[in-house]
Amino acid sequence: MGKAKMDAAFKEVLDKGDKAFVPYIMAGDGGLENLQEQILFLEKSGATVVELGIPFSDPVADGPVIQEAGIRALANGTTLDGVLESLLGWKEERSIPIVLMTYFNLIYSYGIEKFAIRCKEVGVDGLIIPDLPFEEDEMVAPIFSKYELALIHLVAPTSPRSRIEKIAKATEGFLYAVTVKGITGVRNQYEDGLAAYLQELSEFSSVPVLAGFGVSSPEKVRELGKYCAGVIVGSKIVDLLHKGDREEIKDIIAASKKRTVVS
């Protein structure tokens, strides 16, 4: 379980010549009673790992689609405890690794070690904590390591090269490469130099580099997949799940598979 499970999931996909695909969903959007069905649908559709957002009243980098999903989830009464309890209830029915995306205040309030123990118990494999600066890692890293939880880092194209290199070497599970300046959401085009940035990250990092922020179509999945190990798709998946458009979600995930790539 934990880091090893995630490493194995990425290896299996990349060894086949496919690209990794990590969908982000907001826990409790549509009701926690639907979380099991949503994650099992994504697993069956070919996702590699699921990034599961915990709703928070003051998110840092979320665009409007994810913010609205968080508001809906909070209105449904979704709590961190409730999400963890839900994951425990059907732990044996899923094989896909689960990464929680949550804010440090929630973890700190819960109790860092108590939280790590609970994550291991319910079958969480890794954590993304977007508001925890890299320099403050030591607050959680030794505890997460003790319970085999991967601590996944984000890097931005605006960061100095020396900082990017340090983060890329420290991250576990995968490296979350932010592809744009600004918040999450659908983008029509990317910054110049993105290909070089992703390729450089892949040289620094000992784990797969995944591109996220603004990935919203099969074409973009294929485009970004040329330069790194795969993609993370958030706002588009959240929006399509909310609208009930499962076929388009399947099409986006399918674009990460080798058989769909046209040279």
Mind telling me the catalytic residues? Answer: 51, 62
| 207 phi and psi angles, rounded to 5 deg | -120, 165
A 10 A CB-CB count for 206 gives 10
What angle do helix axes 161-170 and 194-204 make, rounded to 10 degrees?
A: 50
**What six digits make up the tokens of 104?**
């440090």
C-beta of residue 132 within 8 angstroms of C-beta of residue 179: no
Torsion of CA 221, 11, 138, 159, to 10 degrees: -30
C-beta of residue 149 within 8 angstroms of C-beta of residue 7: no
C-beta of residue 120 within 8 angstroms of C-beta of residue 149: yes
